[in-house]
Amino acid sequence: MAQEPLLTTLLDLDATLNSNPKLIVGGGYGLFLKQLYLRDNRQIRTLFDIDDLPTARTTEDIDLILRADLVTDSQSMGIIRAALDHLGFSVVETAKYTQFVRQMSPGQVKIDLLAPPLGDFAARVPNDSRRVRPRPSVNLHASKLEEALAVDRHAIPIPVTGQLSTGAAHSTEVLIPQAFTYLLMKLGAYRDRMNDDDKDFGRHHALDIYRIVGLLTEDEDHYVRELNAELTEHPTVVQARQVAMAHFVEPNGFGRLRIKEHRLYTNAVDLDRLANELENLFKVS
C-alpha cells in the first residue's frame, strides 16, 4: 500500500530540518497520529476504550504550531522557509506566507502555520491582530491562534516512521499538544465553524472534541487538571468552558447534534459521558 502523502510530507519536513525544532502538529492530523499510536500501544490506558472511539479521521492538511520563540525570530523562520522551498512548496496566494501547498501523487498537501500566544516575545514583532511576522521579513508568517494556550507545555512525543519522498526510511518524534490545549483549540474551531454553510466543518470539530476527551491518558489527566486550575480565569479558558457547557454538556446542545450528524458516529459514542468528563475537566475550583 502506498504511503499517504501527509506522512511523507511530515517526514520530509522533519528530515530537512534535522528534527530541529521538533514539529508540533495540531488539528485533525495531530489527533489522527495520536489515535493510531494509542491504538497500537494498548498498554497506555485511555479514558474511553480505544475500540469504542470513532475511526481515526484522515485530513487534507497539516497544522504546524510554531513556538513563540521561533515564530518571532527571523533566523529560525528563515530556516523553516528554506526547508519549505527545498521541498517544493508554493505559497497559497489567498493566505500569503501562512499557508503553503505541495503537489503530491495523488493530490496535494497543505501546511498551515500557526502561532500560539506570544507572551514576552510579542515585543519582537509588529503588532498585528491576525498574524505574526518576524522582522526583518523572511516571507514566512503564522496565523495567530490564541486558543493554543500552553501548547508547548507537557506536549506528547509521538513516534512516526515511514519513507521520505526519496524512498529512504526515516523515523522521528513529533509533538502533539496535551488534551487541555487541544480542547481549547478545537472548542474554538467548533465555535467558529458550527454554523458554516458547509456543516462538515462543524461536525468534524465536534467529533474531534469527543475524540480528544476519549484519548485522554492517565498522565495527561494530571496535566489537564493542573493547567485548568492555573488558567481557569484566563479569557480563552472561560470562553472554551462556556462553549463546552452550552453545546456539549447541555442535553440538547448543538455540539451533540453535530456529533450525531457525523458519518463516523456510532452507537458506541457516549455523549452523556462526554458531558460528565467535560464538566470535570473544566471544573472551576
User: Count of CB atoms within 10 A of residue 245's CB?
Assistant: 15
Residue 41 binned pLDDT confidence (cut-offs 50, 70, 90)? very high
The DSSP element (H or E) to which 103 belongs, if any, is strand 99-103
Instruction: Report whether 228 contacts 282 (CB < 8 A).
Output: yes
At what angle are helices 200-214 and 271-281 packed, to 10 degrees? Answer: 70
pTM score, whole prediction: 0.95
Instruction: Report whether 186 contacts 202 (CB < 8 A).
Output: no
CA–chain centroid gap for 205, Å, is: 11
Q: Is the bond leading into 136 cis (omega within 30 degrees of zero)?
A: yes
- Across 158-180, average pLDDT: 96
- Across 252-266, average pLDDT: 94
Q: Which residue has the cell 519549505?
A: 84
Residue 2 binned pLDDT confidence (cut-offs 50, 70, 90)? low
Question: Alpha helix (H) ranges present in the chain?
Answer: 5-16, 27-40, 68-71, 74-86, 179-193, 200-214, 218-231, 235-244, 254-261, 271-281
- Record the cell numbers describing residue 193, joined without a space: 465553524
Percent of the chain residues past pLDDT 90, beyond the cut: 89
Predicted local confidence at residue 1, as pLDDT: 45
